[in-house]
Structure formats: structure tokens, C-alpha cells
């Protein structure tokens, strides 16, 4: 046996050796925090190559899908930029936030809310955005802070390209080019001979790339907020050249009229006055041109996303960065003779959502219904952060681990709010969409 004296003399050396071994082992096991690249598009529907559309060219979103999980039944909380984006960034429903319009009132009505970027800031992350994450009037507010929330970010960047500074050159239908005051709701387009960085979204990508290079050695939450494909549909000409107008189809208007016969009036009341295409005197050919321009704008955004993925790869960050791509809602392009959003139909309630998380599903898709407000708890979960206990979404980790997870039974809820006297709720399960207007008094849809 070892004597007590020997143990006493040996203890300091033994203790130091054990402590050193423990520290070395702990250091080997400790992983750096996961970064987050948070990529937003504006008014983008699921007409995407990565969602199976043979027309729309999205090679970089295809690349992102190969890295992660594509959500085929992702739904927004409200198909309108302001409340949808506030909901994403807080994990709370528009009713909870008391936000249903485009007004800048998040902190006024919810002074103590902890936003997604704010949660990361509180946990030692560098949080920054370039472009549109909270609501901006597009294009009027480009180059400003818009309806932003300062507490969310350490840095905010507001680039402004020719889509804003030369908007008098934008071709406009259904209102006349001489009136450029309301291009935020317009059927309008422009295809200048220009470089990507001449445009706001090109500059958004460039600034985020710079931040990736600058902040690669510390945990970051970086948000790239692209303004396209929101109208007016403006992109460099080479993206327009990807499409042939002869290959762009628009639904037959007679069939579209029939499609609306059994639809409650409240479901499309904002669009009925000048149906079709929202504005008076817009021709089918003009609608086709706008649809082509919308697709060109998507391909332009896709190219910027490719630049962001390249920057992560160049800095050896792909293996420790969670990438989320989302749009704030879907978009009509002539279906039912309708245009724009703000409807509870699948076409505007559903939008793309792709999440690529290291070590989880890649190259797969799920048909389970999910909500945009699920993003907040998901990122907190994946990054090991403790979120506020009042979040109304759920972490998507079960689906990221198993896209067919039988445990995921939560439906998705989308609401539409036209006014205090005109509103409805739509419930999406894997098989059905059920909608009630004024608790069923103004109609029901299944």
C-alpha cells in the first residue's frame, strides 16, 4: 500500500496533472458557438427552381436546399410585410403584438419585447443587418432605417441603389409612369444595363460579405434583408435575359372568374374593384411582362445569396453557421385574376423557408405545416440560447432531425386583417386549409 506520507507529498503534483488533463479534455470537447446567417426576401412566393418550378432559375437556392431542409408548407402569420416581420422577429402573433398594419409601433405597443437579434446580442453575439428585416416602405424608405428596431442590432446598414435613386426610369402600368409616388403598390419594372452593386440588393450582399470577413472570429447574427422581388420589379438586364416572354403564361381570365364564384367577398375585397390585376386597364400582355420581371428579380436575389454562401465557404464558416432563408409571405401573379398579397389563400399565405443547420437534415424536404414564428425558438434551440418563455412558436429541431417526424402535429395559423370590421383566420394542416371570416359570419372556406 502507498503510505499516507507519500500521498501527501505526491498530492500537489497529482492535482496539477489532473487539472491540466481536465482542462485539455474540456478544451477539446468545447465547440465554438454557431453563427447565424439570416436571409430575408421581400414578397417572394414559391415559384422557385428549388421548389420544383421549371421556369424560375434559382441555382443558389438549389445549393442551399442541398445543404439543408426545405419546408414545403411554411406559412406566414399575416400576408403583409409589417406584421409578418414583427412576428418573425419576436416569435409572437400579430394579435399578441397588437400589430396588423404597416405602422411603426412595435416598441410603442410592446416596450419589453426581446427580439431575435436582441437575444443574440445579450448572449455575446455581434448582431447586424443590411437592408430590410423589419418593415420598410419599398422603394420609398430604401436608404433609411425604415420601421427598424435599434435594440435588435449592434450595427445597421442602409444601402441605396439605382432602384431608388433613379426610380423615375421605372416603367409603370395601370397608373402612368408620371406618378411615381406609390411604386410600393405597382405593376412596374425596369431592366437597366447595370452591375449588381448598382442596386440596393447587390449592396446589401456586399455589406454582409464585408461583415462576415470582419467578424469571422467571433459569433455573429448577420441579417441580409433583400428588397426584391417586391415591386417595382427592378434588376440588371442580364437577369431579365434569363427568361423568354413567350414562355411566361398567365391564367385564363374566364377560368379565373369562375374560380372566384364560390369565394366569400371578404376574402378578396381589396382586389374586387379593379379586377383583374388590381389596377384598371392592365392588359394580359402587361401582366406577363410584370411576371417575367418578378422572376428576373428572384434570380437577382438568388445570385446575391450565392455570394453570401461563397463568403461563408471562403472563411471556413459553413460547418458552424446556421443559415435561414425566408420570405415574409407569398404572392399572387394572376392566379384567380389576382395580384400582390394580403389574402388568406395558399398562394399568399405560403412562402419559401429553408434552414441549413450543421449536422442536421440536408437535401431533404418536409410537408409538415410550420409557421414563420417558429424560426425564433428554432435558432435559440440550435444555438443553445434560452429564449423568452412567452414565445408562441415551437423549435423546428424535430423536423430538422427527422422531416417526417410524427410528433409534429401543430397546424399553421395565418390571419388577414383589412379593418376592425373585416378580418379572418386560416388554419393549415398537412391536408387542408380552412378559413373563417368574422368567425364564419362573413363566410367559410375549405
pLDDT tens over the chain, length 446 residues: 344 443 334 334 333 344 343 434 344 457 889 999 999 999 999 999 999 999 999 999 999 999 999 999 999 999 999 999 999 999 999 999 999 999 999 999 999 999 999 999 999 999 999 999 999 999 999 999 999 999 999 999 999 999 999 999 999 999 654 555 689 999 999 999 999 999 999 999 999 999 999 999 999 999 999 999 999 999 999 999 999 999 999 999 999 999 999 999 999 999 999 999 999 999 999 999 999 999 999 999 999 999 999 999 999 999 999 999 999 999 999 999 999 999 999 999 999 999 999 999 999 999 999 999 999 999 999 999 999 999 999 999 999 999 999 999 999 999 999 999 999 999 999 999 999 999 999 999 99
pLDDT of residue 30: 72
User: Which CATH architecture describes the domain 33-445?
Assistant: 3-Layer(aba) Sandwich (3.40)
Answer yes or no: 135 catalytic: yes
pTM: 0.92
Answer yes or no: 81 catalytic: yes
Q: Residue ranges per domain, the chain?
A: 33-445
Q: What are phi and psi of 396, to 5 degrees?
A: -85, 10
Catalytic residue among 81, 231, 290, 383, which? Answer: 81
pLDDT of residue 29: 58
pLDDT of residue 142: 97
pLDDT in tens, 28-66: 457 889 999 999 999 999 999 999 999 999 999 999 999
Catalytic residue among 100, 135, 230, 329, which? Answer: 135
pLDDT in tens, 325-373: 999 999 999 999 999 999 999 999 999 999 999 999 999 999 999 999 9
Amino acid at each position: 500500500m502507498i503510505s499516507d506520507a507519500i500521498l501527501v507529498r505526491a498530492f500537489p503534483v497529482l492535482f496539477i496533472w489532473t487539472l491540466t488533463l481536465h482542462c485539455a479534455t474540456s478544451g477539446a470537447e468545447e465547440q465554438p458557438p454557431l453563427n447565424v446567417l439570416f436571409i430575408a426576401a421581400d414578397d417572394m412566393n414559391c415559384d422557385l427552381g428549388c421548389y420544383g418550378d421549371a421556369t424560375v432559375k434559382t441555382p443558389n437556392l438549389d445549393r442551399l436546399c442541398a445543404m439543408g431542409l426545405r419546408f414545403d408548407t411554411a406559412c406566414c402569420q399575416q400576408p403583409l410585410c409589417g406584421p409578418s416581420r414583427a412576428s418573425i422577429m419576436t416569435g409572437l402573433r400579430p394579435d399578441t403584438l397588437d400589430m396588423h398594419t404597416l405602422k411603426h409601433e412595435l416598441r410603442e405597443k410592446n416596450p419589453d419585447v426581446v427580439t431575435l437579434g436582441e437575444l443574440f446580442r445579450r448572449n455575446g453575439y455581434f448582431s447586424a443587418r443590411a437592408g430590410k428585416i423589419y418593415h420598410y416602405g419599398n422603394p420609398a424608405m430604401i436608404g433609411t432605417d425604415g420601421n427598424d428596431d435599434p435594440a435588435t442590432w449592434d450595427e445597421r446598414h442602409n444601402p441605396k441603389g439605382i432602384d431608388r435613386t433613379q426610380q423615375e426610369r421605372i416603367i409603370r402600368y395601370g397608373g402612368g409612369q408620371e406618378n411615381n409616388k406609390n411604386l410600393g403598390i405597382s405593376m412596374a419594372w425596369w431592366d437597366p444595363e447595370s452591375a449588381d452593386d448598382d442596386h440596393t440588393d447587390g449592396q446589401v450582399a456586399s455589406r454582409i460579405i464585408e461583415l462576415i470577413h470582419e467578424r469571422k472570429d467571433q459569433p455573429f447574427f448577420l441579417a441580409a434583408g433583400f428588397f426584391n422581388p417586391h415591386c417595382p420589379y427592378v434588376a440588371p438586364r442580364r437577369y431579365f435575359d434569363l427568361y423568354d416572354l413567350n414562355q411566361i403564361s398567365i391564367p385564363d381570365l374566364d377560368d379565373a372568374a369562375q374560380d372566384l364564384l364560390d369565394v366569400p367577398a371578404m376574402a378578396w375585397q381589396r382586389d374586387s374593384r379593379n379586377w383583374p390585376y388590381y389596377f384598371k386597364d392592365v392588359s394580359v400582355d402587361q401582366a406577363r411582362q410584370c411576371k417575367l420581371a418578378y422572376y428576373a428579380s428572384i434570380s437577382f436575389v438568388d445570385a446575391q445569396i450565392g455570394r453570401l454562401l461563397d463568403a461563408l465557404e471562403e472563411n471556413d464558416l459553413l460547418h458552424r453557421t446556421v443559415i435561414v432563408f425566408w420570405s415574409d409571405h407569398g404572392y399572387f401573379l394572376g392566379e384567380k385574376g389576382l395580384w400582390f398579397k394580403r389574402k388568406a389563400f395558399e398562394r399568399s399565405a405560403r412562402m419559401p423557408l429553408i434552414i441549413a443547420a450543421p449536422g442536421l437534415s440536408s437535401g431533404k424536404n418536409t410537408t409538415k405545416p410550420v409557421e414563420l414564428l417558429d424560426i425564433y425558438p428554432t435558432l435559440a434551440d440550435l444555438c443553445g440560447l434560452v429564449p423568452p418563455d412567452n414565445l408562441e412558436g415551437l423549435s423546428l429541431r424535430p423536423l430538422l432531425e427527422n422531416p417526417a417526424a410524427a410528433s409534429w402535429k401543430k397546424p399553421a395559423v395565418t390571419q388577414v386583417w383589412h379593418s376592425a370590421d373585416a378580418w379572418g383566420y386560416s388554419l393549415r394542416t398537412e391536408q387542408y386549409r380552412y378559413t373563417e371570416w368574422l368567425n364564419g359570419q362573413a363566410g367559410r372556406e375549405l
